[in-house]
A and B are shown apart, each in its own frame.
Chain A
Amino acid sequence: MLPNEIEWYFPSKINEALKLIKRQGVILHAGGTRILKTQTKSVKGLVDIGGLELNYINEKGKSFHIGSAVIFGEIVKYSRETGNLKMLGTALSNAASTPLRNRITIGGSLKDFPLWSNLYAPLIALDAKINIINSKNTIIPIEDYVSKGIIKSKHIIKEIVVPSDKNLIWGVKRFTLIRFEYPLFNIAFSLKMKDEIIEDARLVITGVQGRYKRFKRAENILAGQKLNEELIGNCEKLITPKFIADYKYSAEYKENVAKVYFKDLLTEIAGRK
Chain B
Amino acid sequence: MRLNFNVNSETKELELNSNETLLDVLRNNGYTEVKCGCNEGECGACLVLLDDKPVNSCQVLAMSIKNKKVKTVKGIGTLFIPHIIQKTFAKAGADQCGFCSPGMVIASYSLLKENPNPTYEEILEGLDGNLCRCTGYVKIIEAVEKSAELINEKN
A residues with a Cβ closer than 8 A to B are: 1-8, 10, 29, 31-33, 35-37, 46, 48, 50, 73, 93, 96-100, 102-103, 179-180
Contacts and interface: CB of A to CB of B under 8 A. Distances in A.
Contacts of B132: none
B20 A1 contact: yes
Nearest to A48: B64
A4 B20 CA distance: 10
A253 B111 CA distance: 39
A83 B142 CA distance: 31
Interface stretch (B52-60, B80-88, B94-102): B52-60
Nearest to A2: B19
Nearest to B126: A98
Chain B: interface residue count, which band?
Answer: 20 to 34
B107 interface: yes
B75 to A, nearest CB: 16
B59 A8 contact: no
Specify which of A2, A35, A93 lies most central, judged by the most chain B CB atoms within 10 Å of its CB.
A2
B61 A35 contact: yes
Contact of A1 (B19, B54, B128, B129): B19
Interface string B117-135: 0000000011111000000
A94 B128 CA distance: 10
B123 to A, nearest CB: 11
A99 B44 contact: yes
Specify which of B50, B59, B129 lies most central, judged by the most chain A CB atoms within 10 Å of its CB.
B59
B18 A7 contact: yes
B63 interface: yes
A93 B122 CA distance: 12
5 contacts: A8-B63, A31-B59, A36-B59, A100-B56, A102-B54
Contact of B50 (A46, A48, A102): A102
Contacts of A36: 21, 41, 58-59, 61
Specify which of A6, A29, A93 lies most central, judged by the most chain B CB atoms within 10 Å of its CB.
A6
Given A1-B20, A4-B19, A99-B56, 15 more contacts: A1-B24, A2-B61, A5-B17, A31-B59, A32-B61, A36-B59, A36-B61, A46-B63, A50-B64, A98-B54, A98-B127, A100-B129, A103-B55, A103-B56, A103-B60
